[in-house]
Structure 1
């Protein structure tokens, strides 16, 4: 069952199809967990699976709306969730650019090289997710990322439309948004939110060399992995927006790899329990228009990716 009949009514009314695409009906019981907009903004819309070290994308500009919907319960599979949404998008005149599942998309590499909204609102199981992107001739785009946990399903929808009229006072700068660090210890944060920012790490400016330390966060990660040998952690590097996307992705990946190697060599962590990847500037936690924001965006996060 679909939560509303808005899309059907719009199609029957003969209204322009681009309008209908603005009212995607979510599954019954879906709850809006996150809704944020940027106007104007840009979004690198994935159009192919991960390949040659990157996710091919088409950059769209305009009004960006990002939403996460949560569906409680164990009922629907990711395909059952995505299929009716796909049908609505194609009925609205959009052309499908990418439609893939987990490993077909690129698995870990796809997940950490495209825009994924933060937890706990959004959750992605690296072995059980589906992604779809589509564009219209009017320069509009939409993407859907669907995954689920043992107790709920998660639907991320990012839409790009025409920009509104935004007036920015001359000389003004947006406030820096400090990333919200999960409360409690690293172990508690991984268990409750699935991620932890390794804020005590120190890298040489513009380089991937990790400082000498010692770093308490790495000791905590190593201890956590020893206590939970069945679990795996992904180390994900992030940068500010200075420089090219390709260069920043490479730098962020190298920094995450440096952390992984330090964990193995200095803390005797099990390499099989670790992965490293980089997102460049694709997942900021603050505005890149301020020095404080850029500093906050340069980080490495530990992400709990497996509990099997």
Structure 2
């Protein structure tokens, strides 16, 4: 086991932080911390129309871990983590497995960090919500999402605290450090004509962008400002789940949301950016695996012209 210091800041220590033991082969893939945020935590399985939730405003920390190796089980991974939380005074609010959680409807109604830092196998995941303190006004709420693929497992841990701040010295995960588009990625866009906008996240179950920040959008805006004749199309893509027309509508709406963010936040002229949607018609990976479906849900920037 490895000791992860300051993952959570809810134990009764002098610093307000504690250590959570993770499996020794675990690798942190993403971490994002916000001192003023909102988290909507599931507190019951999907009931046929919605997921019952509890909303918490305050400091929120989101992490994803990868556990390499075949033959792993969410139940075996969860057990020691759950025991540590219970020993620290947390109570279990929700503990469900894939189908019992609500399967597809639960997964896509629940916040999940984007690929490639986190993947979810719809047929093999376990979800826990743990709460500390008064149910109506808790000290902290933590959710665990643990899933197993053929050759690896993933653990997502989201913690929300109504008050207090987190230690700022922890490492930032890959999803928060995008390659500058005015460097090698910018060269790729200009040479190959298209690039995936990594780390772009949408509100769960909707087409609107979350608050960010999104380094890939900031870098794309910088590239557009440096190349005043450059015109692009933003193209949304989905996996193969669901109706084609609906997927085209969703993918186009998400591309439009990215376009609007570039216009509103970065001052890019509207006539330099188009927004289109392809639905599931242009996959970059197999839709037969969860990992492939995650990779297919994306927004790309495509070069249309460079009128220097």
TM-score normalised to structure 1 length = 0.55
Look up the SS of the partner of 1:139 in the other structure: strand
Kindly report which structure 2 residues correspond to 1:68-217, keeping only aligned pairs within 5 A, or say none: 68-137=64-133, 138-164=138-164
Q: Structure 1: how far apart are the matches of 2:207 and 2:87? A: 37
Listed one character per residue, the Cα deviations across residues 129-180 of structure 1 (whole Å, up to 9, x for unaligned) are 11001111143110000012211110000011244579xxxxxxxxxx99x9
Distance 1:54 1:124, change over 3 A: same
Q: 4+ runs of 1 displaced by more than 6 Å?
A: 17-21, 182-185, 284-288, 298-301
Change (3 A) 1:196 1:95: closer
Tell me by how many angstroms 1:260 deviates: 2.0
Q: CA deviation at 1:29?
A: 0.7
State how far apart, in whole Å, the 2-side matches of 1:88 and 1:22 are. 11
In the alignment, the residues of structure 2 paired with residue 96 and residue 18 of structure 1 have an alpha-carbon distance, to the nearest angstrom, of 25
Partner Cα distance (2:121, 2:107) in 1: 9
Give the structure 1 partner of residue 2 of structure 2.
Answer: 3
Structure number having the greater strand percentage: 2
Residue 104 of structure 1 deviates from its aligned partner by 0.5
Instruction: State the Cα RMSD in Å.
Output: 5.0
Q: Deviations over 1:240-280 (max 9, x none)?
A: 57xxxxxxxxxxxxx999x82538xxxxxxxxxx9x999x9
Provide structure 1 residue ranges, at least 5 long, that are not aligned to the other structure: 8-14, 167-176, 198-235, 242-254, 264-273
Matched, 1:67 2:67: no
On the 8 A contact 1:38/1:63 being kept in 2, the answer is: yes
Question: Cα 1:299–1:75, aligned 2, differ >3 Å: closer, same or farther?
Answer: farther
Confirm or deny: 8 A CA contact 1:44 1:59 kept in the other structure: yes
Deviations 1:89-140 (A, max 9, x none): 1111011110001000000000000100000110100001110011111431
2:288 aligned partner: 306
CA-CA distance at 1:291 after TM superposition: 3.6
Q: 1:240 to 1:35 in 2, by over 3 A?
A: closer
Q: Which residue number in structure 1 is paired with residue 228 of structure 2?
A: none
| C-alpha distance 149-39 of structure 1, shift in aligned 2 (>3 A) | same
**Paired residues, what number?**
217
